[in-house]
Amino acid sequence: MTAAPSRPSLPDCARPQRVTGCLLAGGEGRRMGGRDKGLVPYEGRPLAAWVLQRLVAQTAQQFVIANRNLADYAELLNQAHATLPANRPAVEPDAPHLPRASGPLAGILTALQRTETPWLMVVPCDTPRLPATLVQDLLAEGERCNAEAVVPVTLDEQGLPRHHWVCVLVRKDVFAKLEALFAQDERKLRVCIQSLNWSSVSFTDATAFDNINSLETLNGRD
Question: What CATH number is attached to the domain comprising 41?
Answer: 3.90.550.10
Neighbour-count burial of 99, counting CB atoms closer than 10 A to its CB (0-12 exposed, 13-18 middle, 19+ buried): exposed
Per-residue pLDDT of the chain (222 residues; tens, 9 = 90+): 233 344 444 444 446 789 999 999 866 556 555 678 889 888 899 999 999 999 999 998 898 998 888 889 988 988 887 544 444 446 666 665 655 556 889 999 999 998 999 999 999 999 999 999 999 999 999 999 999 999 999 999 899 999 999 999 999 999 999 999 999 999 899 999 999 999 999 999 999 998 886 554 555 544
Q: What is the H or E stretch that residue 200 is in?
A: strand 198-202
Which has the closest alpha carbon to 77: 93, 94, 89, 95?
A: 89
Query: Considering the domain boundaries, does residue 119 fall inside one?
Result: yes
Query: Considering the domain boundaries, does residue 2 fall inside one?
Result: no
Number of structural domains, the chain?
1
Query: Considering the domain boundaries, does residue 118 fall inside one?
Result: yes
Listing DSSP states for 24-91 in one string gives EE----GGGTT--GGGSEETTEEHHHHHHHHHHHH-SEEEEEESS-HHHHHHHHHHH-SSPPTTS-SE
Pairing of strands 149-155, 198-202: parallel
Amino acid of residue 78? N
Which has the closest alpha carbon to 187: 158, 166, 208?
A: 166
Question: What range defines the domain where residue 45 resides?
Answer: 12-221
